């Protein structure tokens, strides 16, 4: 059952915010280390917002902070190992500065048994809390700082929706807006439903008020977030769908709308039509395929076939010819034969993606796939992913070269990392474009003519006539 935190609960946390500000010897600075997806990145913005409301300021590095918080991911085993390795590194700093407070939160902590592991193996950690306890950060940190004792809080039932939390956004031009939490799909390789809980949609009024405020603040682009945005609204009254939410969000006047992530089985004709008819929805669609083999897709519990996936991809291209399609692909899933892998290569050939995120299957304890027979030897998976990457690189090269000579609207976000005389930003297709400009261009949406293509990025020239969205 979905539960929205009450006004009394919110007021209780605000009381801890005020009490923390007057706590003798409290930490003054913080540093958050974020792992994983956009959902985690946005969670870190909320955590930072609460910490700043408590009177703390961000430190540029972990070494300079009084409180270091690791917001973790557990989607793959190596992400978990990396997080724990970096947390362990803080043990040495704490020997020099015993007052340092160390916290761990997020999906890894929510994983079954992980809180107990932290208690037993990492005694230098002061604070650990799961994804359902994030809104209680003021209370939890107050308890840890006041008595200098360990605080661990993990709720097994992930059903809470917390509105009204402060947010410290990383960018004044781009903003994450979470529209739903959790997942009902239970893909056999994925731990997310177990650590993020079942699907629960935010009320559309809360979402739209947040977007309206972002428009007033000068935000140029929002990304609507959910584990499966295509299933938004199913448990809400009023006939809300993701397509309807997109149309209403566009009415706020926000110049650019993106979203992440979509499940192919829930991609409706209504949503495709909405994308085609809504100019502010950017011409990029991330549609994870995971495999091109029907046999493997069934073993993954994906609820579609390769033919059904191709139908949805073709429908998108028919409605929005200039749309850029990207995907996720897994190789080495248990039982994957060479023929299954060839089916994935065939899917890449047929869809002609702009780009693909490719992964070697990583067993996650607690998921059905981890106990499946016929686990693929690492050397076989490595050879297959190398072939897959090379195949996709050819399509990426072709797709980028096809954009040479076109005019693209670019939201300028920063200087290029390689050349400070160049600016960078992304076009509607979500491809980075570098062009010569100045600091004054940052935060503006500018027309850029593409003049050349690199391996994964484009290079362009700023046109004299500028776009209206400034």
Say if 206 falls within a structural domain: no
241 — pLDDT class (breaks 50, 70, 90): very high
Of the three residues 160, 192, 215, the one that is the final residue of a domain is 160
Q: Which range, of 120-124, 321-325, 435-439, averages the lowest pLDDT?
A: 120-124
Of the three residues 363, 380, 399, the one that is the final residue of a domain is 399
Strand bridging mode 407-415 / 422-426: antiparallel
What's the pLDDT score for residue 417? 85
Q: Which of 212, 192, 285 is nearest to 253 (CA)?
A: 212
Report field, pTM of the whole predicted structure over 0.75: yes
Say if 175 falls within a structural domain: no
Indicate whether 133 and 93 sit together in one domain: yes
pLDDT in tens, 407-418: 999 999 999 988
Indicate whether 83 and 139 sit together in one domain: yes
Indicate whether 305 and 373 sit together in one domain: yes
CATH number at 62 reads 3.40.50.12160
Indicate whether 14 and 139 sit together in one domain: yes
Phi-psi region of 230 (alpha: psi -120 to 50; beta: other; left: phi over 0): alpha
Residue 307 CB coordination number (10 Å):
8
What's the pLDDT score for residue 157? 64
φ/ψ of residue 194, rounded to 5: -80, -25
Does the pLDDT at position 459 exceed 50? yes
Residue 394 CB coordination number (10 Å):
12
Q: How many domains does the chain have?
A: 3
What's the pLDDT score for residue 197? 87
What's the pLDDT score for residue 2? 65
Instruction: Let me know: does 178 contact 225? Beta carbons within 8 Å.
Output: yes
Does the pLDDT at position 466 exceed 50? no
> At 257, is the secondary structure helix, strand, or coil?
strand
What's the pLDDT score for residue 115? 79
Task: Provide CB contacts within 8 A for 300, sequence distance 6+.
Answer: 187, 188, 189, 290, 291, 330, 333, 369
Say if 220 falls within a structural domain: no
What's the pLDDT score for residue 424? 97
pLDDT in tens, 264-276: 999 999 999 999 9
pLDDT in tens, 54-82: 999 999 999 999 999 999 988 777 777 78
83/106 Cα distance (integer angstroms): 11
CATH number at 429 reads 2.40.50
Does the pLDDT at position 457 exceed 90? yes
Indicate whether 385 and 437 sit together in one domain: no
Indicate whether 75 and 132 sit together in one domain: yes
Does the pLDDT at position 469 exceed 70? no
What's the pLDDT score for residue 159? 64
Say if 271 falls within a structural domain: no
Of the three residues 112, 133, 160, the one that is the final residue of a domain is 160
Counting residues of the chain whose pLDDT is more than 70, the rounded percentage is: 97
Does the pLDDT at position 426 exceed 80? yes
Indicate whether 10 and 148 sit together in one domain: yes
Say if 204 falls within a structural domain: no
CATH number at 311 reads 3.30.750.200
Counting residues of the chain whose pLDDT is more than 90, the rounded percentage is: 79
Say if 259 falls within a structural domain: no
Indicate whether 417 and 354 sit together in one domain: no
What's the pLDDT score for residue 250? 98
Indicate whether 341 and 377 sit together in one domain: yes
pLDDT average, residue stretch 319-325: 97
Indicate whether 311 and 389 sit together in one domain: yes
pLDDT in tens, 199-223: 999 999 999 999 999 999 999 999 9
pLDDT in tens, 132-156: 889 999 999 999 999 888 999 887 6
pLDDT average, residue stretch 423-446: 96
HSE value, Cβ hemisphere, 13 Å, CA-based, for 213 = 11
> At 393, is the secondary structure helix, strand, or coil?
helix
Q: Which residue matches tokens 């407070």?
A: 101
Say if 205 falls within a structural domain: no
Task: Provide CB contacts within 8 A for 251, sequence distance 6+.
Answer: none
In the chain, % helix, strand, coil (3-state, to 5) comes to 40, 20, 40
pLDDT in tens, 101-114: 999 999 888 888 88
437/424 Cα distance (integer angstroms): 9
Does the pLDDT at position 238 exceed 60? yes
Domain encompassing residue 411: 407-462
Does the pLDDT at position 468 exceed 60? no
Q: Which range, of 133-137, 278-282, 347-351, 457-461, averages the lowest pLDDT?
A: 133-137
Indicate whether 73 and 110 sit together in one domain: yes
pLDDT in tens, 343-385: 999 999 999 999 999 999 999 888 999 999 999 999 999 999 9
Q: List 68's β-bridge partners, or say none.
A: 31, 102
Instruction: Let me know: does 268 contact 241? Beta carbons within 8 Å.
Output: yes
What's the pLDDT score for residue 467? 45
Say if 388 falls within a structural domain: yes
HSE value, Cβ hemisphere, 13 Å, CA-based, for 146 = 14
- Supply the DSSP symbol for 227: T
In the structure, how many helices (H) and strands (E) does the chain have?
14, 21
Please give the mean pLDDT across all residues of the chain: 93
Indicate whether 9 and 96 sit together in one domain: yes
């Amino acid at each position: 059952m979905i539960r929205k935190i009450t006004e009394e609960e919110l007021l209780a946390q605000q009381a801890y915010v005020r009490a923390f500000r007057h706590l003798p010897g409290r930490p003054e600075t913080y540093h958050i280390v974020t792992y994983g997806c956009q959902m985690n990145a946005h969670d870190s913005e909320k955590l930072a917002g609460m910490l700043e409301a408590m009177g703390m300021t961000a430190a540029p590095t972990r070494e300079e902070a009084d409180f270091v918080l690791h917001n973790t991911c557990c989607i793959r085993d190596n992400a978990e190992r990396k997080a724990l390795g970096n947390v362990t590194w803080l043990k040495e700093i704490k020997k020099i500065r015993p007052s340092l407070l160390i916290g761990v939160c997020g999906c890894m902590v929510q994983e079954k048994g992980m809180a107990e592991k932290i208690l037993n193996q990492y005694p230098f950690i002061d604070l650990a809390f799961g994804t359902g306890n994030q809104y209680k950060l003021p209370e939890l940190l107050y308890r840890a700082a006041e008595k200098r004792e360990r605080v661990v809080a993990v709720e097994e039932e992930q059903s809470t929706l917390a509105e009204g939390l402060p947010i410290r956004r990383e960018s004044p031009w781009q903003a994450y807006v979470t529209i739903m939490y959790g997942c009902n799909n239970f893909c056999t390789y994925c731990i997310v439903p177990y650590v993020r809980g079942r699907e629960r949609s935010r009320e559309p009024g809360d979402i739209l008020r947040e977007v309206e405020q972002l428009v007033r603040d000068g935000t140029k682009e929002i990304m609507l977030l959910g584990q499966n945005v295509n299933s938004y609204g199913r448990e809400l009254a009023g006939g809300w769908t993701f397509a309807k939410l997109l149309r209403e969000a566009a009415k706020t006047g926000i110049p650019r709308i993106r979203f992440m992530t979509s499940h192919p089985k829930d991609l409706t004709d209504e949503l495709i039509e909405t994308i085609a008819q809504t100019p502010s929805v950017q011409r990029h669609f991330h549609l994870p395929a995971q495999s091109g083999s029907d046999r493997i897709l069934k073993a993954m519990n994906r609820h579609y076939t390769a033919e059904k996936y191709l139908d949805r991809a073709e429908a998108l291209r028919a409605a929005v010819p200039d749309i850029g399609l990207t995907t996720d692909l897994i190789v080495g899933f248990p039982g994957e034969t060479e023929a299954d892998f060839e089916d994935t290569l065939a899917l890449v050939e047929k869809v002609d993606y702009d780009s693909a995120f490719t992964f070697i299957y990583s067993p996650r304890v607690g998921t059905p796939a981890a106990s499946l027979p016929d686990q693929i030897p690492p050397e076989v998976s490595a050879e297959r992913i190398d072939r897959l990457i090379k195949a996709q690189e050819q399509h990426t090269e072709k797709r980028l070269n096809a954009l040479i000579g076109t005019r693209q609207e670019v939201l300028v976000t920063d200087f290029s990392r390689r050349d400070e005389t160049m600016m960078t930003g992304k076009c509607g297709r979500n491809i980075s474009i570098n062009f010569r400009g100045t600091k004054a261009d940052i935060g503006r949406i500018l027309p850029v003519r593409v003049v050349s293509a690199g391996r994964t990025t484009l290079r362009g020239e700023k046109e004299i006539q500028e776009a209206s969205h400034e």
